[in-house]
Amino acid sequence: MVLDNTLISVLILILGGILVLGYFNWSNTRDARRHTQKIFQQQRLVREVPDAHRLSQAVHLLRPSVRLGFDYFIETEGGKLPHISEWNTAGTMPTQAEFDEALRRVGSIDSRGYAAMRRQEYPSIEEQLDAAFKARHGDTSEQEELDSRIEQIKSKYPKSDDDL
């Protein structure tokens, strides 16, 4: 009888442990699904609402390392302009003045985005090929100068949230 009660107690404990693990797994899966849906919702908002897209670009200009749907969330309510509803990163949220300046800069970039702005300033293909030829033959000075110019252009026109 003692062995039977001990065996039953152990089986109940094991079953309880399995149920608790199952609950935690279900809860984590549910939370992950909700978060994934919020990310997709944010991406759809930025694709479909031009003002939300510009706000996202402005945030990226100010804080390039933050990610839409993780570090910050954009919300639109009742026809109002989109705004940042959550800021979940250790860095400080930009001030309204910083947002205004960034939105002005984003507005000055044509509708084709950062890639078009970069293309306008990049060295020509001919210049790059000539520098590559010279570098293969030992003269790397021109290649290094072009690489430096390209890095400056990439810093001047960082990628936007279009890459999400």
Q: Which residues pair with 72 in a beta bridge?
A: 68, 87
pTM above 0.85, yes or no: no
pLDDT tens digit sequence for 5-39: 888 888 899 999 998 888 888 888 888 888 889 88
Phi, psi for residue 89 in degrees, rounded to 5: -125, 160
Place of tokens 């404990």: 13
159 pLDDT above the threshold of 80: no
CA angle 90, 160, 153 (to 5 degrees): 105
Per-residue pLDDT tens digits for 83-111: 898 898 888 889 999 988 888 888 765 44
pLDDT value of residue 65? 87
Instruction: Give the whole-angstrom CA distance, residue 56 versus residue 33.
Output: 23
Check residue 92 and give left, alpha or beta (phi > 0: left; psi -120 to 50: alpha): beta
Beta bridge partners of 87: 72
Give which of 76, 73, 77, 78 is closest to 51, Cα–Cα.
76
- Look over the chain and give the mean of its residue pLDDT values, rounded to a whole number: 85
